[in-house]
Structure 1
Amino acid sequence: MQIYPIQTGYFKLDGGAMFGVVPKVIWQKTNPADANNLIDMSLRCMLIEDGKRLILIDNGTGDKQSEKFFSYYYPYGDETLDNQLAKYGFHRDDITDVFLTHLHFDHCGGSIQFNKDKTGYQPAFKNAKFWSNKDHWQWATHPNPREKASFLPENIKPIEESGQLHFVDIPKEGILKNSPLGFDILFVDGHTDKQMIPMINYQGKKLIFMADLLPTVGHIPLPYVMGYDTRPLITMSEKEKFLQKAVENEFYLFLEHDAVHEVCTLQQTEKGVRLKETFVFNDLFSQT
């Protein structure tokens, strides 16, 4: 198995929304805001090469939304999904599986693209299976008013219409062992219903793709919960359990949204679980 970090770009979000009830005077120490109160966010995805399978975990915002839509999020950076895949010798047509942690636009927008004459939509990965789960799919296709702006029909419905949609099972105990993707999956409900967190054994380490369970290192303290989360108290409970396991088992956390740090580890302190170390992915793991 070989894993590659795939940086699909950067964008900006309101710092207050990203930290909920935590005051700006505190959160800006780790996530400094600009004059408009916006903080930098990464759209970092993961590519897993495992035998004949090439698995892409999440895929950023894509580029099909309107100029007005993107004006709310200030996308920037020269990195794209295509040039990042090419960096490692791959093309999007090589992707065999697209695993979507959840269906918010910044995680699945790259799944679908315009057709040639822009009269409709088509999968951006024509040879891939798209993986979600039934409960989250139902949640996203019948959205509540709070999340409706993040669940965009043009990102979701064409996947089902393509015939390329597949579901993983939802376990009773919260973790799906030996999933069809070859890694374990932790299911969490605080941010959105049945978000999926990949847990990967890699080069002797346990690597966790954090998605929106832990957006940045600034979100490690328990009360630092996004205003976007639908069930913040559940998020805190899920975070507490996960962070304790991460310390006890020396997990390496792959950060999708941290604009500065790619991977981190945690430690127990008098104040609770806190950051231990940060790493550049390709420095931490050998590329053979």
Structure 2
Amino acid sequence: MNIHIIDTGFFKLDGGAMFGVVPKSLWNKQNPADEKNLCSWAMRCLLIEDGKKLILIDTGMGDKQDAKFFGHYDLHGDATLISSIQSKGFALEDVTDVILTHLHFDHVGGAVRFRDQSSLQPTFPNATYWSNEAHWNWAINPNPREKASFLKENILPLHESAQLQFIKNGTSPFESIDFLFVDGHTEQMMLPVISYKDQKIIYVADLLPSSFHIPIPWIMSYDMRPLQTMDEKQTVLHHAVHENHILLFEHDPLYEAGIVEQTDKGIKIRARGPLTDFLAN
């Protein structure tokens, strides 16, 4: 198995929204805000070579929205989904599977691109796209609070292409990837748990968007069920401490991955840095 970080650029979100009830005097030390109170966040995907499969986890924001849309998020950085995959020596046609942790625009936007000026198609023509039925139904019938995060142009073409399949809770179509299903951020978000040699890597998506979000109360205002997010974080972090799991951070602007430890003041980050620093040779 080979694992590649796929950078798709950075975007900005309101710092207060990203840290919820945590005072700015605390979170601003971790990820300083600009004059508009916006912080930069990564959109970090993962590409896994596993036998005959080439598996992509999440797809970033993509590039098909208009300038007004991107103006809200100040998309920046040189990397894109496609250029990053190509830089690893792969073509779009090589991707066999795309795992979508959930269908918010900054995770699924790159899954679909324009075929021409008036029609859309899946970015990866030979790939099976994986979601789950409960989250899919949640996304195509969105609640008013979450509606702006579920864009039909990002998700309906996947169903129309017949490339979409659903993973059932407790099952996996992959030999080396299992899934944790969590409901605090959004309904049935899927966290891939990758077995790499004798290690496990948890792609924590928006349960732990960055290493700064390790403290249990540090959760986003975007979460649909904040108290449940806190319980789910506690469970995942407890296992990460006792099993020495690697956490892969999708949105951390500085650190790709990290490991945690139990201290007298709760679970803390023990080390963080490039994913390769934590992988066994």
Range into which the TM-score falls when normalised by the shorter chain: over 0.9
The 8 Å contact of residues 246 and 278 in structure 2, kept in 1 or not, is answered as no
Is 1:150 the counterpart of 2:149 in the alignment? yes
Q: 1:194: how far off?
A: 0.1
**In the alignment, what sits opposite 2:272?**
278
**In the alignment, what sits opposite 1:138?**
137
Question: Which range moves more in the overlay, 29-38 or 93-102?
Answer: 29-38
**In the alignment, what sits opposite 1:10?**
10
Q: 1:204: how far off?
A: 2.2
2: CA distance between counterparts of 1:168 and 1:194? Answer: 11
1: CA distance between counterparts of 2:278 and 2:267? Answer: 22
SS at match of 2:54: strand
Amino acid at match of 1:31: N
Q: 1:32: how far off?
A: 1.1
Q: 1:286: how far off?
A: 6.8
The 8 Å contact of residues 105 and 150 in structure 2, kept in 1 or not, is answered as yes
Amino acid at match of 1:184: D
**In the alignment, what sits opposite 2:90?**
90
- Which structure 1 residue ranges, 5 or more long, are not aligned? none
Amino acid at match of 1:156: I
Amino acid at match of 1:202: Y
When normalised by structure 2's length, the TM-score is 0.97
The 8 Å contact of residues 19 and 219 in structure 2, kept in 1 or not, is answered as yes
The 8 Å contact of residues 63 and 110 in structure 2, kept in 1 or not, is answered as yes
- Which structure 2 residue ranges, 5 or more long, are not aligned? none
SS at match of 1:72: helix
**In the alignment, what sits opposite 1:109?**
109
Q: Deviations along 1:128-149, whole A, 9 cap, x unmatched?
A: 0000000000000000001100
**Regions of 4+ moved over 2 Å:** 282-287
Q: 1:84: how far off?
A: 1.1
2: CA distance between counterparts of 1:216 and 1:286? Answer: 23
1:21-32 equivalences in 2 (<5 Å): 21-32=21-32
Identity %: 53
2: CA distance between counterparts of 1:104 and 1:181? Answer: 23
2: CA distance between counterparts of 1:222 and 1:89? Answer: 39
Q: 1:203: how far off?
A: 3.0
SS at match of 2:86: helix
Amino acid at match of 2:274: V
Q: 1:11: how far off?
A: 0.6
The 8 Å contact of residues 181 and 191 in structure 2, kept in 1 or not, is answered as yes
Aligned length: 280
1: CA distance between counterparts of 2:173 and 2:29? Answer: 41
Q: 1:241: how far off?
A: 1.1
SS at match of 1:149: helix
Q: Deviations along 1:239-267, whole A, 9 cap, x unmatched?
A: 11111111011010011000100010001
Q: 1:88: how far off?
A: 1.4
Measured on the aligned residues, the alpha-carbon RMSD in Å equals: 1.1
Amino acid at match of 2:74: Y
SS at match of 1:83: helix
2: CA distance between counterparts of 1:254 and 1:72? Answer: 26
1: CA distance between counterparts of 2:162 and 2:83? Answer: 27
2: CA distance between counterparts of 1:51 and 1:142? Answer: 37
